[in-house]
Structure 1
């Protein structure tokens, strides 16, 4: 297992930029890809049940999982970026405190969420847009996630914490452990135990538990920088403010994503189960390029945060420009491959002609938007990494504020066509806002760099 103390000082300060990016981002990209492969395999197994209502139920549950990810990012993104900035200041003692505080608060928030969500299960189902045959399937699926929510939140929080100190391989290992457990258990729980989509959810939860155990072992026994010891659990107003000011921006982003997903489910349901299923399958396919791009720019967040805090602006800019170039090339290449083979790929998930025809059309619109989403994502992560809460909040809110009215007006004016292309339009506009903020930030950092040279 990598020695994090040596790892973070070398890769954060001395390693050539491509090597540092590869060290931090490649394990993250592999981990995200493996998670996506599991998601696709999960959809494949459920598709083998030949029940469109089940596939629709899994799609309807996506906004619910967004709630969990929103909570995760309060402590994962907020705590993780704060840890990287503290390491840039060589403040190792506070970094230990943040890792412990982030973990225990994430675990506590998971239990609170579980206690609140169980009594509200039926209203949640109505909000998710579950109707008719999909109600029982959606209920059984998300009930498992509600019970397992403390482990899901803790898992993804710990993943971001260990990555913040430069332990990218450890971060990837945890994701791989979770996915391997999922893949092994999926066919057993779905088919052998006849649990259907509830079995798929249960496999995911058990996989998350396995990853949590791994991360806890690492932080207790192997990490030279961080800890989860209760002795270091000493939250103060200043510490909580630094965690939450960035964590809340990430929470808002996922919160708007949840609202837009709910809206998408309810609007697409007007056109039938085939439209909802088409959106769900297309989303999983497009996530291949989106998740790899996400793994790339999320992987370098600690490098950006560390360099900025250490006032090594030139290195920070080189990390950003090199990462952006890699990201654009990868996103366009994967999207092109998916587009070329869209027909045979789609037949793997559904035999329903309506689902296939509508889904392929949706897929094309999503592939176009994925390029702009990647640019928006890296700009948002930059602002989160350097602690610029104002810009990060603007980016998080802009996407949601634009998408919701565009989605509603597009659906009512242009019908299903307008709904399908609404995300693309919103992504383009959000990307333009991000580029404007980036230009302003770049001028500010040029001034800082010039002052340091003088």
Structure 2
């Protein structure tokens, strides 16, 4: 294990020692308690994000089927925009936790500072490129003449906050990676509460319609980034985010990007998957598009807490990997697997049983509700395997194993789902559209299980050969 960087150690002693006591010790021997303390705030934070999407949909749903269809069509665009932030954030979190585990504090700070420096121009460039393309994008989604103007109103307003959204995403990953998951939770909670209060004000009181929902989201993004700026400028973290620590060295950027690339691709494919779903639903009418949008949102409500748990707990895996503590990795991995699988199975069962009352929260249109109920049930048939997929992806990201994590992460909404959603609706109509999601979920779960057993085997072999300097496992970085 390396000694702490001299330069950073001196700066930490002068500026950061009082604040470090407020952070969670990633070497805490009580593993289950440590994981829960890290993961629960992350779960709450991402659940709040999912709930924010639900609240927006509920308020917008009062404006009619076209409004909720338009907002639903914007969701994949926002997922696509967030892809860059997710990729940079995942790569940065893995980088930070591994270097903190190796006691390389200065390198961890350089990673965090460089990540934020890359995020802002990325957001601006993507926004400028995307704005004039919105009409063509919505036309590709199958937007009808009644949906198109509403969708342009909503997405055109929301895009102006894209850079803020990306900065919020990356900032959240940074503070969670150093063990301060509570702060990211409070930042998300602040944004959600503000959004929930402003939604009805802007939509109904100011009579701004869907544009009001977008403005409410923008204001909430501004509030959240204000909290992160205060956190970093007041040196609230273990790592230092400073201009002087920005490093554009190719090898460092490659480390940040390579591990996060699968997360970026997963987000891009997630957006593409929803686009293809809407495109396949378009021939069946506005009600079908709205119903699929409702089912996708309910699926997201279950997926984000699982993702949040894995993101919060990933710091433990990365820290232990940096310290080459394989016993700790195995114990943490087994606990994470139990929690994620138990939650995903319980959620899928709850949605199947209570699909109708859940759907009626979004729409009182009987035809929309009927289609949405069947969509929800089929979408959640194999959702119990999502817990395995999320855990395995987090494990591989913590180890810095970019290629293998891509194989697992890209299955569910990538190389399994895309061929299915393109083929099955042609063969079996709307039923084929629904089946494509279920079949992709099942296949991705099987792949994740295979990879998981292989990784556990590698870890056990590393423990058996530890005495003979088997720290570098064959094929592991």
**TM-score, normalization: structure 1?**
0.95
Structure 1 residue 230 corresponds to structure 2 residue 275: no
Structure 1 equivalent of residue 442 of structure 2: 428
Contact 2:43 2:307 in 1 (8 A): yes
Quote the Cα distance in structure 1 between the aligned partners of 2:438 and 2:21.
43
Q: Match of 2:163?
A: 150
Q: How does 1:259-298 map to 2 (within 5 A)?
A: 259-298=272-311
CA distance in 1, matches of 2:65, 2:430: 19
For the 8 Å contact 1:70–1:252, the answer to whether it is kept is yes
| 2:143–2:282 CA contact under 8 A, matched in 1 | no
Say whether residues 1:343 and 2:356 are aligned partners: yes
Partners of 1:55 and 1:262 in 2: how far apart? Answer: 15
1:33 aligns with 2:37: no
Cα distance change on mapping 1:206 and 1:369 into 2, 3 Å: farther
With over 3 angstroms needed to count, the CA separation of the structure-2 counterparts of 1:4 and 1:427, relative to structure 1, is farther
Distance of 2:177 and 2:191 partners within structure 1? 20
Separation of aligned partners in 2, 1:137 and 1:346: 22
Q: How far 1:290 sits from its partner (Å)?
A: 1.8
Aligned equivalents of 2:274, 2:339: Cα separation in 1: 29
Residues 60 and 129 of structure 1 are in contact (CA less than 8 Å); yes or no, is this contact kept in structure 2? Answer: no
Partners of 1:122 and 1:179 lie apart in 2 by 29
The correspondence of residues 206-225 of structure 1 with structure 2, limited to 5 A, is 206-225=219-238
Partner of 1:256: 269
For residue 338 of structure 1, report the CA deviation from its aligned partner: 3.1
Could you tell me which of 317, 324, 332 is aligned with 1:311? 324
Alignment partners' CA distance in 1, 2:18 and 2:431: 52
Q: 1:13-67: per-residue Cα shift (whole Å, max 9, x none)?
A: 1241111111111111111222222221111111122x10111011111110111
Residues 6-45 of structure 1: pairs in structure 2 closer than 5 A: 6=21, 11-45=25-59
Alpha-carbon separation, structure 2, partners of 1:249 and 1:381: 11
Give the Cα separation in 2 of the matches to 1:338 and 1:224. 39
- 8 Å CA contact 1:288, 1:334 repeated in 2: no
Select the residue among 85, 93, 107 that pairs with 1:80. Answer: 93
**What pairs up with 1:114-129 in 2 under 5 angstroms?**
114-129=127-142
After the TM superposition, which residues 54-453 of structure 1 pair with which residues of structure 2 at under 5 Å, given as runs? 54-399=67-412, 400-453=414-467
Q: CA deviation at 1:119?
A: 2.6
User: In the TM superposition, what is the alpha-carbon distance from 1:248 to its structure 2 partner?
Assistant: 1.1
In 2, Cα distance between the equivalents of 1:20 and 1:434?
Answer: 25
Alpha-carbon deviations, 1:269-306, whole Å to 9, x = none? Answer: 11111111111112222333222222211211111111
Kindly tell me the number of residue pairs found equivalent between the two proteins: 452
Relative to structure 1, the CA distance from residue 212 to residue 31 in structure 2 (aligned partners, 3 Å threshold; closer, same or farther) is: same
Are the structure 2 counterparts of residues 401 and 259 from structure 1 closer, same or farther at C-alpha, using a change threshold of 3 Å?
A: same
Q: Answer whether contact 2:99 2:107 (CA < 8 A) is retained.
A: yes
Q: Is the Cα–Cα contact under 8 Å of residues 344 and 386 in structure 2 kept in the other structure? A: no
TM-score, normalised via structure 2 length: 0.91
Q: SS state of the match for residue 120, structure 1?
A: helix
Check whether the contact 1:103–1:158 (CA below 8 A) recurs between aligned residues.
Answer: yes
Shift of 1:7: 5.9
1:3–1:223 Cα contact (<8 Å) kept: no
TM-superposed deviation, 1:79: 1.0
User: Any runs of at least 4 consecutive aligned residues in structure 1 with deviations exceeding 4 A, and if so which?
Assistant: none
The question of whether the paired residues in 2 share the 8 Å contact of 1:281 and 1:349 is answered with yes
The change in CA–CA distance for 1:437 and 1:335 in structure 2 (over 3 A counts) is closer
C-alpha distance in 1 between matches for 2:218 and 2:151: 16
Pairwise CA RMSD: 1.8
Q: Point out where structure 2 has 5 or more consecutive residues left out of the alignment.
A: 1-16, 469-477
- For 1:313 and 1:423, locate their aligned partners in 2 and report how far apart those are by CA, in whole Å: 36
Please give the alpha-carbon distance, in whole angstroms, between the structure 2 residues aligned to 1:370 and 1:82. Answer: 30
Correspondence for 1:5: 20
Q: Distance in 2 between matches of 1:219 and 1:372?
A: 38
Q: Relative to 1, partners in 2 of residues 1:3 and 1:385: Cα closer, same or farther, differing over 3 Å?
A: farther
Unaligned runs of 5+ in 1: none
Cα distance per residue 1:355-396 (max 9 Å; x no partner): 111100011112223212221111111111110011012123
Within 2, Cα distance between the matches of 1:288 and 1:66?
Answer: 14
Return the alpha-carbon distance in structure 2 between the equivalents of residues 37 and 31 of structure 1. Answer: 10
SS in 2 for 1:166: coil
Segment of structure 1 superposing worse, 200-209 or 83-92: 200-209
Residue 453 of structure 1: how far off its partner (Å): 4.3
